Amino acid sequence: MSIPSVGVWSLIGNTPILPLYFSDFDRTIWVKCEFLNPSGSIKDRVAVYIIEDAERRGLLKPDSIIVECSSGNTGISMAMVGVAKGYRVQILLSAGASSERSWLIRHLGGEVILIDSNADYATGIEIARKMAEADPRIFLPRQFENELNIEEHLTTTGQEILRQIDGPIGLFVNGYGTGGTLAGVGKALKRANANCKVWAMEPALPSMAEDEHPFGQQTIEGVSQGFMPDLMQFAQVDGYVKVSCREASEMTRRLSREFGLLVGTSSGANVAAALRVASEQNIDGAVVTVLCDRAERYFSTPLFQKNGLSAAELDNCK
């Protein structure tokens, strides 16, 4: 199999960063526009990084099958990069994920294997491992435990942010699914400024360090997958901030209607969290977060209902 040297993966990364001023908080939040990656999310970065590392090490062959367990975004990214490079891609996806995610994976040429939405994420990961044991053609990217996930964000995303912002960065706030972005970017920013604070955003549910929840059931898709991922042990976290799905949805709509940014609820949650931490803590320097993905993968969710969330849904989002 001949793999072209240039393809859609060449468009990944080097995303712009944008300052957003919130007059009601009298705060500016710098947002890294990861939704402008070719498949529409930050996960494009780790997909190409892991796949190309596997190619260099001879782990991927012409008949290889890339299999990953995903809440959606990584699956879309793996399908985009993997299929474009000529590999077969199978994604284990929660039946509770928004339907757009499975549509996009299939549209990109990937295959979707739906997992019971009441199962925890560890179940999906174990299914992938058993598939690999039964079929030597299968390559597992292992996004939740693969330290290349952190390395990518340390060496690319974090360095881009440092080049794009003049002066010290005092705070980085981000949700975590695998923990790769939080650990990698956080490490890069702390190396540049030891006083930089790193805060992790979680949905307003019991802490992942305390309880486990079924994957696909969290209120903010792609954030805190129902367990504390292995990569979080490498994250230098100074604090945790909780955001309800009401706050996340309201901020996501504000980002679109006030700033023209068509992004998903995890992006709204990140901005809401950054504003809260910046307002409550003594921060010296720029405040940075990430706009993770595009809005079109949320069309079937309450975010795009005619009148937003119903009263019953809002009651469940406190």
For the 43-139 domain, the top CATH level (class) is: alpha beta
pLDDT at 4: 66
Return the CATH fold of 8-36+153-315: Rossmann fold (3.40.50)
What is the residue-wise DSSP string for 11-44?
Answer: G-S---EEEEEETTTTEEEEEEEGGGSTTSBTHH
> How far is the CA of 258 from the CAs of 176, 235, 262, 308, 315, in angstroms?
26, 33, 11, 16, 25
The more confident residue out of 33 and 144 is 33
pLDDT at 150: 97
- Which whole number is the average pLDDT over 291-317? 71
> How far is the CA of 151 from the CAs of 66, 139, 159, 163, 178, in angstroms?
20, 20, 11, 18, 13
Is 43-139 the same fold as 8-36+153-315? yes
Residue 205 pLDDT level (bands cut at 50, 70, 90): low
Ramachandran category for residue 191: left, alpha or beta (phi over 0 → left; psi -120 to 50 → alpha): alpha
What average pLDDT does the structure give for the chain? 89
Lowest mean pLDDT among 26-30, 83-87, 143-147, 302-306: 302-306
Contact 120, 226 (CB under 8 A): yes
Residue 131 pLDDT level (bands cut at 50, 70, 90): very high
- pLDDT cut 90: percent of the chain above it: 74
Lowest mean pLDDT among 9-18, 226-235, 257-266, 277-286: 226-235
pLDDT at 208: 47
Contact 193, 285 (CB under 8 A): yes
Tokens 């595009």 identify what position? Answer: 294
- Which whole number is the average pLDDT over 86-110? 93
Residue 72 pLDDT level (bands cut at 50, 70, 90): confident
d(CA 42, CA 48): 11
* Residues labelled catalytic: 43, 266
Domain boundaries, the chain: 8-36+153-315, 43-139
Ramachandran category for residue 260: left, alpha or beta (phi over 0 → left; psi -120 to 50 → alpha): left
- Which whole number is the average pLDDT over 244-272? 96
- Which whole number is the average pLDDT over 284-300? 94
Please return the burial class of 240, using the count of CB atoms within 10 Å of its CB with bins 0-12, 13-18 and 19+.
Answer: middle
pLDDT at 229: 82
At 164, list the tokens: 């794009």
Nearest to 13 by CA among 44, 47, 52: 44
d(CA 244, CA 269): 8
SS3 label, residue 183: helix
pLDDT at 228: 80
Over 90: is that where the pLDDT of 52 sits? yes
Element (H, E) at 112: strand 111-115
pLDDT at 212: 42
pLDDT at 216: 42
Contact 197, 203 (CB under 8 A): no
Residue 318 pLDDT level (bands cut at 50, 70, 90): very low
Non-local CB neighbours of 5 within 8 Å, separated by 6+ positions: none
At 223, list the tokens: 């954030």
Q: What is the sign, positive or negative, of the torsion defined by CA atoms of 124, 125, 126, 132?
A: positive
At 108, list the tokens: 């990109």
Please return the burial class of 152, using the count of CB atoms within 10 Å of its CB with bins 0-12, 13-18 and 19+.
Answer: buried
